[in-house]
Chains A and B, each alone.
Chain A
Amino acid sequence: MATTYPHGTHKSADDPHVLLDDEYGQYEPIPPYPPRTERELEFYTPGDGEMYLNMGPQHPSTHGVLRVVLKLNGERVVDIDPVLGYLHRGVEKLCENADYHQTISQLDPLEYISSLFCEWGPVIAYEKLLDVQVPRRAEYIRVLSGELNRIASHALFMGWFALDLGGLAPILYSFIERDEIVEMLAALTGQRMLFNYFRIGGVNGDLNHDFLSRLGDWMSRAGKQIETNLALLNENEIFVRRARGLGTIDREAALRLCMTGPNIRASGVPFDVRRAHPYSIYPEIDFEIPTRSEGDSLARYLLRMDEVKQSLRIIDQCLEQMPDGPIMAKLPRLLRPRPGRAWAAIEGPRGMYGAYVISDGTDQPFRLKIHDPSFIHLQAVGALLPGHLLADTMAIMASLDPVMGGVDK
């Protein structure tokens, strides 16, 4: 039964004449709790001329529900205290109570922009436990759909990054590309976002005419279209001068923070799981690993756009070399892997996405640990933000491209 207030008797936190005597409507003081650790004590002790500013969990550009308490001196950020867990859905625990097939659908919404990669890592780990040989056609379809998903993810990154720097137009263009890609993936997998497509030992459905015709259509003009979209930002002097030198992270610091993916490649470390620890059919495919040495926001942006071009190359090769054959390995319906542990890592659009599975011989995983790159990269925010202006905080955060679904799990 809902509590209702008769007309005129309700209390409003906005009305200065209303004295709030109940707990409801009172703003949480900062800190919201007595400091529990030395770090909290240090952060919540303001220095001379310092103030706190709360940002989130509802903020138009925190890319989800992230709350950051900023300690400011004037307009300079002195220190930050991120508060996580606003999107903690307990995925890992739910996976312990689902059988191996069911976990795939639970894992989809972790990095909801690149769902196929969230399935890919755990599926490879399960296949290692089960000693399954995946048919080659299934591997090609995985790589093909995965690279499409990578392009969609980077397209969204481009739009958001520009949006956080104050440019409104690019997101309109990037969503055109993204919508075309997810529509063709929907023709393949049946869903626009949470595909639930990879299976243990293969994929769910074969390539169909609808998907291939959409893909052919798009590929015939993708290169030109992407160049047009990139010209919006790359040739925009305001954007380039704003993003250059913003949030610079050098090679040693990036390694120390365990960054992976485009973020570390923009700092000069040519680490890519597709080459360093090859999986699937990537050893047979010819593509480059773009690397940059500046380590700033502009480099991270440009590097992702270079990756899009490499992804187009990979898709071309997949379509040329696509073999015939089955798309699923022969497996029993109920899977009981041998007791043991398996680790598998793949290169997602945000970096190394890993899955660590412990099997106890039953049809449900005993433990499934997800290593998510967004969580790792969010650590870097604490190292990057101090010294920057308040207006740059969102731009730096956006250049790292975290997804809160993966951070909070």
Chain B
Amino acid sequence: MTNELTRSTSAGARTTALTVPGSTAVSEPVVVRNELWAPADPLAYDGGQPTEITHLAQLEHDMSLRRDDARWSGVLEVIPTKADYVIDLLRANSLWPLLSGLACCAIEMMSFATSKNDVDRWGAFPFRASPRQADVLIVAGTLTTKMSGPLLRLWEQMPEPKWCVAMGDCTCSGGRYKRSYSTVEGIDRIMPVDVYVPGCPPRPEGLIYAMMKLQQLVKDRRGHWPERAIGPTVPQDV
């Protein structure tokens, strides 16, 4: 698959927009015409003529197209992109967590949201009380077997795309209650987890770092989301 890609690009297929094989996403670029400003250098960007290059990936593969004849005051004539690329950028910078605390870590999660460690600065703020409005489920605290059903229901009620952060040793692996008869040894036994934050409890800074990692993860996968299972991902016998 990768051979095919490299061969077609090295042959200089300039107008072929690169698509991920098997992708059902719309590969046509959204072209946003620049009608707001003129570049400082009138000869930049082919003298203001519309460019043939509509996809950044072409610039990546063809060295001859890489030229930098304008300052950043000019930026690009068009923004070649797909809608998912833009929307995921917005998603990464506005992760709304679910206001749901289970135990001790919930207090540190509040500290992470309030005055001193003001997580609003990184765009992970309004804590939503309803799972229908939340993007991130921060599982903060020991998950017991009795609570696992309600927690799963919360996770199912959250709309896609959604992410899960396991906060604290109890949710990562069982922690100090690993040997107890009534706890779940790590929430990844019942739901997918994107970021793990160890610590008992982790400092609020640890959770901020986790949210930054999550933002990085969202940006890295921008427009290339793997097919994730929708619906219950619970093992049958749990």
Contact = CB atoms under 8 A, between A and B. Distances in A.
Interface of A: 1-5, 7, 10-14, 24-25, 57-60, 64-65, 85-91, 93-94, 97, 105-106, 109, 112-113, 156, 171-173, 175-176, 178-179, 192-194, 404-405
Nearest to A173: B115
Which 8 A-B residue pairs are closest in the complex by CB-CB distance? A10-B231, A4-B229, A112-B104, A175-B114, A5-B231, A90-B180, A60-B129, A2-B233
Given A11-B231, A106-B176, A89 B183 contact: yes
Given A90-B177, A172-B115, A192-B108, A7 B227 contact: yes
Contact of B103 (A1, A64, A97): A64
B150 A89 contact: no
B107 A58 contact: no
Given A97-B179, A172-B115, A86 B106 contact: no
Contact of A4 (B111, B142, B182, B231): B231
Contacts of A4: 229, 231, 233
Interface stretch (B2-10, B43-51, B94-102): B94-102
Most buried by B among A2, A13, A404: A2
A208 B233 CA distance: 50
A13 B141 CA distance: 27
Interface in B105-131: 106-108, 110-111, 114-117, 129
A5 B144 contact: no
B62 to A, nearest CB: 36
Interface string B207-235: 00000000000000000000101111111
A90 B183 contact: yes
Contacts, number: 120
A176 B200 contact: no
Contact of A10 (B107, B108, B200, B230): B230
B90 interface: no
Interface residues of B, number: 45
Contact of A192 (B106, B110, B180, B203): B203
A88 B230 contact: no
Contacts of B70: none
B180 A94 contact: yes
Contact of A94 (B151, B156, B179, B230): B179
Contacts of B117: 179
A3 B232 contact: yes
A12 B160 CA distance: 13
Interface string B127-148: 0010000000000011010110
Nearest to A56: B150
Contact of A175 (B116, B154, B177, B181): B116
Contacts of B99: 60
16 contacts: A3-B234, A3-B235, A11-B231, A65-B150, A86-B146, A86-B147, A87-B141, A89-B142, A90-B183, A94-B179, A106-B176, A112-B107, A172-B115, A175-B114, A176-B116, A194-B200
B236 interface: yes
Of the candidates A86, A113, A405, the one having the most CB atoms from chain B within 10 angstroms of its own CB is: A86
B159 to A, nearest CB: 10
Contacts of B104: 109, 112, 193-194, 405
A14 B235 CA distance: 22
Contacts of B231: 4-5, 10-12
B148 to A, nearest CB: 10
Contacts of B116: 175-176, 179
A86 B108 contact: no
B181 A93 contact: yes
B235 A2 contact: yes
A105 B177 CA distance: 11
A1 B107 CA distance: 34
A24 B176 CA distance: 31
B147 A57 contact: yes
Nearest to B147: A86
A87 B232 contact: no
Nearest to A85: B146
